[in-house]
Structure 1
Amino acid sequence: MQLLAKLRIDSFMLGILATVVLAALLPARGGAAEALDWATKIAIALLFLLYGARLKPREALAGLRHWRLHATVLTATFVLFPLLGLALRPLVPSVLTPDLYTGVLFLCLVPSTVQSSIAFTSMARGNVAGAVVSASLSNLIGVFATPLLVMACMNTTAGVHVSPTAILAIVVQLLLPFLAGQLLRPHLGWLLSRPSATKTVDRGSVYLVVYSAFSAGVTEGIWHGLSARVLISTVLLCAALLALVLTLTSLTSRLLRFSREDRIVVTFCGSKKSLATGLPMASVLFAGHPVGLIVLPLMLFHQIQLFTCAYLAQHYARQPEPVLTESPSTTAELV
């Protein structure tokens, strides 16, 4: 409980729930909805500018030498997850509605998280430098990979047609601010030294996107057909998906004979999905579709992964440091 309180996971979850309730009671309409859309785009751009400013170029170049670790994480994120998502297609319509299946498949296509992957790796005494590079690479590659995967998987299996121009829109909204953050990094030290400011931007952008998506859902009346049974089924499915990926990434990292520190990176970076990146992508990719329902599985998965990985990080942290009996850790390459 102390770990959860330190991470303030509960407050973030409660904040998202409060945002959903606010959208249900006071949805944005007309001019307010247009203003909200612009505010959301600005917040997301600022968020990715901070992502770019946080990544030290020297640290990134050093970390890239550990290519086997990053290739394993990227394979879990952009190969394993999509295959599992496609395998769930037979659950429609007996377990999932078509829109919720689209959401489950979409969560399987988004990149890994950045901050929480790094934070959990640090708490578990894992390879922090490796986590920084793996999580950042996942988000950079995801700017292109996620829209392409959505087009490849959903245009044929989920009944959703995505325009190729959506890729350009996502590049403008996410990648350009990230690159600007890299260029402006020497001048943003005063902001990066204030954790409260960066946390406000991080969580505030998520709240804005959640409010926008669910507000649109309320005004369009898409929630009336969502039953408690379907919602519970979606929660259980997200939990089972996370458990399966955690098991597979753990087994794979052992088979590849990674060090304990690198196995922690594969476990946390390879099993997590980014709400902060996925939500703005969804708003662009699924314009004209029920975005609120589509992002619901990602929001549920995000909360489940936070609680689960917090427990795992605590478990790893309690374990004694192992005596090095295998080949030297590739972590040394990063020093």
Structure 2
Amino acid sequence: MNLVSKIKKEWFIVGMVLAIVLATFTSELGRSGGWLNLQVIVSVGVGIVFFLHGLGLSPKDIKAGVKNWRLHIFIQLATFAFYPLIWLLFDDVFLSLMPSALAFGFCYLFVLPSTISSSVTMTGVAKGNVPGAIFNASLSSILGVFITPFLIQIFMKFEGVELDYMSSVKSILLLLILPMVAGQLARPFLSAFAKKHKAVIGKIDKYVIILIVYNAFCDSIFNRIWSDFSIQTLALSIAICVVVLLFVVHSIQWLASRSKFSLADEAAVVFCGTKKTLAAGIPMAKLIFVADPNLGMILLPIMLYHPIQIFYCAILANKYAAKATAA
């Protein structure tokens, strides 16, 4: 009975583990473009989560989130300065440990912008500063259109490329801002309903994260990133991804706590400032490295890092939620 109680209490973590196991056997079913077209379901789910965030946030809270410039500067520096600093300090180590294409893949990972959907969703799970997370995740995506190719030129001596800026802006509007605005407009009509069903609504974002984990691992398995490389290369890449993630997350967490951020702001810092985008990272890589025959190896670090960061940050989000509830 104690085991059953423990599983019920930690159903979110158990659900993510089951999603990974299920993806191992059903990658064709859950991959993007597969039988379920899960990428569409995930997009709809993310839209619903943002709609519910909009429904639950007062205009006063949103204004407070946007005006928090100290939070914005901290998050953007974590994304576009702290991560690239790792490459500046350890580029020789990466190049000595692995093939140059794989090393440059880690360089590419470090200069990518933050994720949008999972960063905001996990900040919501953690009961953090969702308006601040929305603003910074969106800002990171827009800045990344310019900063990522620029840093690639500096670090890897590649010629810059022109990215579709308007496409990035449209994606942000459709995936994030539009549902949020719709939720705000619906507040006068649905806020009482949302309060009444708060317990159910509070679990929806966790369900969506489990779907994102399942979809991400199905994509990884279907694209054979686990079989196209040697066991040693995969093991080394996974180990580096785990070490980098733990180092960055807990360093940023420590710096945020020392900077006297509130618990809600600290959650936004951790989940927006430490995550890297796969959704924008792959299309950008195809443009930047268009003529490179080693594109698969360059993409390996972000393909590995993405599910690892989702899994670990989801566990961390649960801990933040418990702290917030206790407080």
Q: TM-score, normalised by structure 2?
A: 0.69
Residue 84 of structure 1 is matched in structure 2 by 86
CA RMSD of aligned residues (A): 4.2
State whether residues 170 and 284 of structure 1, in contact with CA within 8 Å, keep that contact through their aligned partners in structure 2.
no
Residue 252 of structure 1 is matched in structure 2 by 255
Taking the aligned partners of 2:84 and 2:282, their CA distance within structure 1 comes to 20
Report the Cα offset of residue 12 of structure 1.
1.5
State whether residues 112 and 148 of structure 2, in contact with CA within 8 Å, keep that contact through their aligned partners in structure 1.
yes
Residue 305 of structure 2 is matched in structure 1 by 297
Query: Deviations for 1:105-149, whole angstroms, at most 9, x for unmatched residues?
Result: 4266332612223333x4xxxxx3xx2123212221122123333
Gap regions ≥5 residues in structure 2: none
Taking the aligned partners of 1:167 and 1:84, their CA distance within structure 2 comes to 27
Question: Does residue 1:285 correspond to 2:262, yes or no?
Answer: no
After TM superposition, list the pairs within 5 Å mapping 1:303-322 onto structure 2.
Answer: 303-307=311-315, 310=318
Residue 115 of structure 1 is matched in structure 2 by 121
Taking the aligned partners of 2:314 and 2:168, their CA distance within structure 1 comes to 26
Q: TM-score, normalised by structure 1?
A: 0.67
Change (3 A) 1:270 1:280: closer
Equivalent of 1:72, from 71, 74, 81?
74
Change (3 A) 1:159 1:229: farther
Taking the aligned partners of 1:7 and 1:272, their CA distance within structure 2 comes to 25
Change (3 A) 1:299 1:77: same
Taking the aligned partners of 1:59 and 1:202, their CA distance within structure 2 comes to 24
After TM superposition, list the pairs within 5 Å mapping 1:2-21 onto structure 2.
Answer: 2=6, 5-6=9-10, 8-21=12-25
Report the Cα offset of residue 181 of structure 1.
1.0
**When the two structures are aligned, how many residues end up with a matched partner?**
297
Taking the aligned partners of 1:93 and 1:304, their CA distance within structure 2 comes to 27
State whether residues 50 and 178 of structure 1, in contact with CA within 8 Å, keep that contact through their aligned partners in structure 2.
no
Report the Cα offset of residue 15 of structure 1.
0.9
Report the Cα offset of residue 251 of structure 1.
4.5
Helix, strand or coil: the match of 1:280? Answer: coil
State whether residues 69 and 262 of structure 1, in contact with CA within 8 Å, keep that contact through their aligned partners in structure 2.
no
Taking the aligned partners of 1:223 and 1:116, their CA distance within structure 2 comes to 27
Report the Cα offset of residue 80 of structure 1.
1.3
Gap regions ≥5 residues in structure 1: 123-127, 322-335
The alignment-based identity, stated in percent, is: 14
State whether residues 82 and 108 of structure 1, in contact with CA within 8 Å, keep that contact through their aligned partners in structure 2.
yes
Report the Cα offset of residue 48 of structure 1.
4.8
State whether residues 41 and 173 of structure 1, in contact with CA within 8 Å, keep that contact through their aligned partners in structure 2.
no
After TM superposition, list the pairs within 5 Å mapping 1:1-335 onto structure 2.
Answer: 2=6, 5-6=9-10, 8-23=12-27, 26=28, 35-36=33-34, 39=37, 42-43=40-41, 45-50=43-48, 52-53=50-51, 54-55=53-54, 56=57, 57-97=59-99, 98-99=101-102, 101-103=104-106, 105-106=108-109, 109-111=112-114, 113-120=119-126, 122=127, 128=128, 131-155=129-153, 157=155, 163-185=161-183, 186-187=185-186, 189=190, 195=201, 199-205=206-212, 207-212=214-219, 214-215=221-222, 217-218=223-224, 223-253=226-256, 255-256=258-259, 258=260, 261=263, 264-265=266-267, 268-269=270-271, 272-273=274-275, 278-287=277-286, 289-290=295-296, 291=299, 294-307=302-315, 310=318
Report the Cα offset of residue 8 of structure 1.
0.9
Taking the aligned partners of 1:226 and 1:91, their CA distance within structure 2 comes to 20
Query: Deviations for 1:198-225, whole angstroms, at most 9, x for unmatched residues?
Result: 555554355345434542x23xxx6545
Report the Cα offset of residue 22 of structure 1.
3.0
Report the Cα offset of residue 61 of structure 1.
0.7
Helix, strand or coil: the match of 1:111? Answer: coil
The farther-off stretch of 175-184 and 305-314 is: 305-314
